[in-house]
Structure 1
Amino acid sequence: MTYVKAEHNVKLSRNVEGIAPSGIRRFFDLASSMDNIISLGVGEPDYTTPWNVREASIHSLERGLTSYTANAGLMELREEISRYMEERFQTTYDPADEIIVTVGASEGLDIALRAVVDPGDEVLVVEPCFVSYAPLVSLTGGVPVPVPTSMENNFQVSVEAIRERLTPDTKAIMLSFPNNPTGAVMGKAELEEIAALVKEHDLVVFSDEIYAELSYDEEHVSTAALEGMWDRTVLISGFSKSFAMTGWRVGYVCAPAPYAKAMLKIHQYAMMCASTMAQYAALEAMKNGRQEMEEMIVSYRQRRNYFVESLREAGLECHSPGGAFYAFPSIRATGMTSEEFAEKLLIEQRVAVVPGHVFGAGGEGHVRCSYAASMSQLEEAVDRIAAFVKNVRN
C-alpha cells in the first residue's frame, strides 16, 4: 500500500517554538563523532552505582515488585528521605504529604514551577545556571528574569543584584547552590541576607540542592533551614550526583503540604510515579550508601584541587569552586568567545568542555569543565588544554 503525505500546517505551541535546543547537546553530538576524546562536559559522576544499590533493584524484580507505587512514591523511601533531610540539613518534612519522589530532580523542578507560576509571573533566575531553568519558567508562561553573578565575587549572588530586579510581578526566585556550572556556594550569612529580602517581598524560593552533599570547604546550608524560610521554600534534590545514580532518574521534592499537594496533582497525571525498581535502589542508597558517598566526596575534593591549580598554571584564571564537580575558568585572555574556545579545543586537542554562554549571558567568557573524571584523564586533559592555550597566545 502506498501512502501519500497530505498537506498539513504544523501547529506547535508558541512557548515551545520559542525555546532553543540545549546548548550542551550540540557539543556532545560533535564529540561522539570523534575519536581520542577526553570529555569534561558530562555532568555526572564517573563512578558506577554501588553494587548494593544495584542489587536492591535486581532483588525487587526477583520478588516481583513491578507494580505502580503510590503517586508520591514508596512510603518507606519517603520516610528515609525525611530522616535524611533532618539529620543532614536540619529540615523536617512529613513523609505523608510533604515529600514527592520524582523522575529525577528535573521533573521535581518542572512540577514545582508549574504548581506555582502563572502566565506573566516573573521568576528571578540566578545565572550562570543549569540550562533548563529559564526554559522551564517560560513553558509555564512565566517570565525568567536573570540575576547575574561574576567570578570577581566567586559567582555568589548579592542581595543588591536581586533587589534591582524586583518588580510588582516578581513571584519567586530560583537558587541553586552548590551551583552548576560554577561550583559556587553560599554561606549562611549570605543566605540569611537573601532570606530577609525574600520575606520582605513575600517570594517563593525554588531551591535546587542536588549538589548539597558535594560541598568541600564548609557544610551546606539548606535555604529551608533558615529562620522563617521553611514555609516559603520548595526544595528540589535527588540521587543522581551524590549517590552516582544519574541513569536511574530518581529525585524528590520537599515542600509544605499546600505546595506538595499542588505538585502531586501534576505528577500523578504526567508521570503516575517514579520507576518502582529505581525507587528500591534509591531506598538502599539512603539506608546504606553513605560510606561510598563520602569516599566520592574525598576524591572529588582532591581532583578539584589538582584541576583548578593546573588550569591556573596553564594560564586560565579560575576561582576555586566550593561545591559540585565543575570548574568554570575564564577564557577571556585567549580573545575567543566561549563557543569558539570550546569548538577549537575539541577539534584541535580532542578535549570536550561546555561553552559558558549556554548557562546564561553571564557565562560568556568561561567554559564549564567537569572534574568528575579519572585523575589520569584530568592529567591528560590539562596537558592538552595547556598546549592549546599556549598555541593560541603565540
Structure 2
Amino acid sequence: MAAMTSSARPLLNRRLAEFGTTIFAEMSALAARTGAINLGQGFPDTDGPEEVREAAVRALRDGRGNQYPPGPGVPELRTAIADHQRRRYGLALDPDREVLVTAGATEAIAAALLALVEPGDEVIALEPYYDSYAACIAMAGGTRVPVTLRPRTEGGERRFVLDLDELRAAVTPRTRLILLNTPHNPTGTVLTRAELTAVAELACERDLLVVTDEVYEHLVFDGEHVPLATLEGMRERTLTIGSAGKTFSFTGWKVGWATGAPELVAAVRSAKQFLTYVASGPFQYAVAEALRLPDAFTDGMRDDLRAKRDLLSEGLAAAGFAVYRPAGTYFVTTDIRPLGAELSHGGDGFAFCRALPERCGVVAIPNAVFYDHRDAGAPFVRFAFCKRESVLEEAVSRLKALAG
C-alpha cells in the first residue's frame, strides 16, 4: 500500500479529477448536521401512487424480476414505453429494437455518451447542466462545449433563454452531438417548439446527433413539452431519454429508458451491457403498469407540483429573492443579489448556501456548480419544491428572516 500511495501518478483517473465530491453530498450533510430543511436535492418526500407501489409488491411476490431480467429490459416495460410514446406524441417505436431500459436516466446518459462519443469529439450541452453530463462527457474522452442559457425578463416574467445564435456558433467540425435537456434542470426552462425547430434544423444541416434528456416531460406547468424526435428530420438522429422516477415519484427505483432509431439504440446497448448489465427487475414490471395508468394520474401529480411551485416561489419573492418561476421540473432558481451585498455575500451563491442553514434552517444548492463559466452562475441558487406542502410552508416561514 505504501508503494501505491507514494507513486507520482494520482489514483483517480485524470478525466474525473476535476469533479470531486458532489455539492449534493456536502449540502445534505450540512442539512443533517444543522437540522435544516433540505430543499437542495431533487427527490420527493412522499411516495407516488399506491397502485404503482402495489404493482412492485406483486411482482416481488410473484417472482417476476427477482432474477436477472433481459438485458434490454422486460418485454412488458419496453412495450409500455413504446405505447406511451405513440399515445402521447405519435412516435411509433419497435419495442424490441428501439427501446432500451436502463438503471435510471443517469445510466442512459452515461451509456449514450460512452457509446457515441470518441476522444476528441465535442459535445454541446446547455449550461447550467445536470452535473453528471460533464462527468460522462469526460469519461468518454469528449470535450464539453457549454452554451449558456441567459437570464432574461420578458413581460414581467423572469426566465432563462437559449441564444440560438450562440448555439450555432458553438458548432465546429469536431462537434459530434448536442446534449439537450428540456424541461431543463436546474433553470426550469421549457424550450418552445420554435426553439426546438431551430435546434433540429441545425442538427440536420450539420449532420449532428442529439441526445435529449426529457425526464421531466410530464412536469410542465406552463407551455407544452415537444419531444425533439417528433420534428422533421430528427427521428433518425435523436436518442430520447426518459424516466419513471420523476414522473411517478419513485426516484429510488432507478428505472429509465432510451428510445430512438435501431442503430442508435444498438450502440447505446453495447455500452450499457458493461455498466449495470441489468437492474431494477421487479420495478420494471411496476413501471410498465404505471405507464398504462390514465393520464389523470400524471396530470394530478403535475397540478400538485404546480401548486407547490407557486407556494415556494411566492415565499421566496416575499423573502427578497428575484425568482425565476419555472415552467417545468422540480426546481425554482433565484437570484440572491436583491437581498443585498451582506446577505448575499456579494452575490456568491456558494457562500450564501453554506451560511443559509445556520441563518434560516434551510438548505439550497448554488447553481454555479452546474456551470463551466462559474461567474455566469455565481448569484443563482436553486430550491426544490417536490416536498410536502407543510415542509414548504415551514421553509417559507424560516426564509422570512432574510427580509427582516
What is the TM-score with the length of structure 2 in the denominator? Answer: 0.91
**How far does the alpha carbon of each residue in 1:38-73 deviate from its partner, in whole angstroms, 9 at most, with x for none?**
111121223313222222222222222222221100
CA contact (8 A) 1:243 1:289 kept: no
CA contact (8 A) 1:215 1:324 kept: yes
Gaps of 5+ in 2: 154-158
| Equivalence map 1:1-394=2 (5 Å) | 5-8=1-4, 9=7, 11-35=11-35, 37-65=36-64, 66-152=66-152, 154-288=159-293, 290-333=295-338, 334-335=340-341, 336=345, 337-360=348-371, 361=374, 362-388=376-402, 390-391=403-404
Partner SS for 1:145: strand
Partner SS for 2:176: strand
- Displacement of 1:224 in angstroms is 0.8
Give the % identical residues.
Answer: 35
CA contact (8 A) 1:123 1:173 kept: yes
User: Aligned in 2, Cα 1:285/1:376: closer, same or farther, shift over 3 Å?
Assistant: same
Partner SS for 2:15: helix
CA contact (8 A) 1:89 1:220 kept: no
Whole-Å Cα distance in 2 between the matches of residues 104 and 241 of structure 1? 10
Whole-Å Cα distance in 1 between the matches of residues 221 and 205 of structure 2? 32
AA paired with 1:365? Answer: P
CA contact (8 A) 2:103 2:256 kept: yes
Whole-Å Cα distance in 2 between the matches of residues 139 and 306 of structure 1? 40
- Displacement of 1:173 in angstroms is 0.9
AA paired with 1:40? Answer: L
User: Aligned in 2, Cα 1:79/1:145: closer, same or farther, shift over 3 Å?
Assistant: same
- Displacement of 1:226 in angstroms is 0.8
Which 4+ runs in 1 deviate beyond 3 A?
9-12, 289-292
**How far does the alpha carbon of each residue in 1:79-110 deviate from its partner, in whole angstroms, 9 at most, with x for none?**
11001011112322210111100000000000
CA contact (8 A) 1:171 1:204 kept: yes
CA contact (8 A) 2:84 2:292 kept: no
- Displacement of 1:340 in angstroms is 1.2
- Displacement of 1:260 in angstroms is 0.6
Whole-Å Cα distance in 1 between the matches of residues 386 and 59 of structure 2? 30
CA contact (8 A) 1:235 1:253 kept: yes
User: Aligned in 2, Cα 1:119/1:62: closer, same or farther, shift over 3 Å?
Assistant: same
- Displacement of 1:20 in angstroms is 2.7
- Displacement of 1:289 in angstroms is 6.6
Partner SS for 2:321: coil
AA paired with 2:210? Answer: V
**How far does the alpha carbon of each residue in 1:335-388 deviate from its partner, in whole angstroms, 9 at most, with x for none?**
320011111111111101111111113332111001112222222212222312
**How far does the alpha carbon of each residue in 1:172-219 deviate from its partner, in whole angstroms, 9 at most, with x for none?**
111111111111111101111121112111111110000010001222
- Displacement of 1:158 in angstroms is 2.0
**How far does the alpha carbon of each residue in 1:118-162 deviate from its partner, in whole angstroms, 9 at most, with x for none?**
001110110112111111101100001111112216212121110
CA contact (8 A) 2:38 2:362 kept: yes
The aligned length equals 385
Partner SS for 2:334: coil
CA contact (8 A) 2:46 2:388 kept: no
CA contact (8 A) 1:24 1:358 kept: no
CA contact (8 A) 2:150 2:163 kept: no
CA contact (8 A) 2:31 2:37 kept: no
- Displacement of 1:6 in angstroms is 4.9
Whole-Å Cα distance in 2 between the matches of residues 11 and 359 of structure 1? 25
CA contact (8 A) 1:355 1:366 kept: yes
CA contact (8 A) 1:345 1:385 kept: no
CA RMSD of aligned residues (A): 1.6
Partner SS for 2:57: helix
